[in-house]
Structure 1
Amino acid sequence: MSVCKVIVMGVSGCGKSLIGTRLAERLEVPFFDADDFHSQANVAKMASGVPLTDADRSGWLDDLAELVRVEQKGLVLACSALKRAYRDRLRAGNPSLQFVYLRGDMDTIWSRHSSREDHYFNGRTMLESQFRALQEPEPDEGAITVDVSELPDRIVERCLSALGAPDRTGES
């Protein structure tokens, strides 16, 4: 398989970090969390319950696109990538970039989200704003879509299969 560059996307609480970490381990590439690249101002804004605007995300998206471009050995990046324009921006200069969309409904994701601790993303209102902003990937984007109600190991296996990764049955 050639260099694998994958963005695991979806709303907050859908499992991007968990699935992304496991996927990176299986693909033997570095894992990055886009949350770690937000400015202090963005983190403070989200922590106070204020959704980010497109302008707030602009520099962040540029930094992430550059990260994807420079990681020559591949990577898995957990990133919300809620809008097509964001995904297009991340894909610019990275034509082989693959998206994995973790799809779930508000109730399922809120039940997971509300049990999280020590995360700056604050409250149901913020999650609802992400669902309003979400533009699910269109067929022409070629994203891999996986239901978050499945067990994490099954989600990872589905992703690996769709990515054409070598069969490594027996690894966890």
Structure 2
Amino acid sequence: MSQLINNVLVMGVSGCGKTTVGQLVAEKLGIPFFDGDDFHPQENIDKMTQGIPLDDADRHGWLLKLNEQFITHSPCVIACSALKPAYRDLLKINNERLDVLYLKGDYQTILHRLEARSGHYFKGEAMLKSQYDTLVEPSDCEATILDIREDAWTLAEQVVLAKRSAA
């Protein structure tokens, strides 16, 4: 069945649930999961730890590494913010069969989630504001838009059911 499954990008701002939903989708589909955060170079991690938002130049090489993961481990699921169309375009290089899941949530809900999270290098309300300022939401033609007010298990189940019925 995995030959029929496209690669899956789970995108959205920090704190929206990309890792949790992505892991569940990958587990249910029986394909590998990769957290995009694990591929940041140390310089990016250092910036974010200091509360400094990343810019396009910081993200470029990181996105190319994630694109390489998609190609090397196809099919797989990767959680990555992918905030702009240009970022998503980099992830689609030689990876045209990419299903995009956009975890959409309001600012206050996500800020509350981030404030409750410990042990993560993404720090501060300024960084979340920067992500929302950078975010160019995909249309419903470009992505499956999922409301994060639903629990992660329900979201993953919706995705897997849709993928199986499309196969």
TM-score relative to the length of structure 2: 0.94
User: In 2, Cα distance between the equivalents of 1:118 and 1:39?
Assistant: 18
Match of 1:163 in 2: 163
Q: Match for 1:159: what amino acid?
A: V
Q: Gapped runs of 5+ residues in structure 1? A: 167-172
CA distance in 2, matches of 1:85, 1:153: 30
Q: Look up the match of 1:41.
A: 43
Distance (whole Å) between structure 2 residues aligned to residue 140 and residue 27 of structure 1: 23
Aligned mate of 1:23, from 22, 25, 37: 25
Partner of 2:86: 85
Point out 4+ residue stretches in structure 1 off by more than 6 angstroms: none
Name the aligned partner's letter for residue 49 of structure 1.
G
Q: Structure 2 stretches of 5 or more lacking a match?
A: none
Structure 1 residue 164: deviation in Å?
3.0
CA distance in 1, matches of 2:155, 2:141: 22
* Mapped partners of 1:110, 1:139: distance in 2: 24
How far 1:165 sits from its partner (Å)?
5.7
Residue identity opposite 2:155 in structure 1: I
- CA distance in structure 2 between the partners assigned to 1:165 and 1:80 by the alignment: 27
Deviations 1:120-140 (A, max 9, x none): 000111001101100000244
- Quickly say closer, same or farther: Cα 1:109–1:144, change in 2 above 3 A: same
- The percent of aligned pairs where both chains have the same amino acid is 48
Name the structure 2 match of 1:153. 153
Helix, strand or coil at the partner of 1:32: strand
Amino acid at match of 1:149: R
Given that 2:19 and 2:79 are in contact with CA atoms closer than 8 Å, whether structure 1 keeps it comes out as yes
Q: 1:165 to 1:111 in 2, by over 3 A?
A: farther
The answer as to whether partners of 1:144 and 1:162 remain within 8 angstroms in 2 is no
Q: Name the structure 2 match of 1:116.
A: 117
**Quick check: 1:146–1:158 contact (8 Å CA) kept in 2?**
no
- The answer on 1:144 being equivalent to 2:147 is no
How many positions carry a matched residue from both structures? 164
Partners of 2:5 and 2:163 within 8 A in 1: no
**Cα deviations across residues 125-172 of structure 1 (Å, max 9, x unaligned)?**
10011011000002442x111000011121112211332369xxxxxx
State the partner residue of 1:169.
Answer: none
Q: CA RMSD in A?
A: 1.3
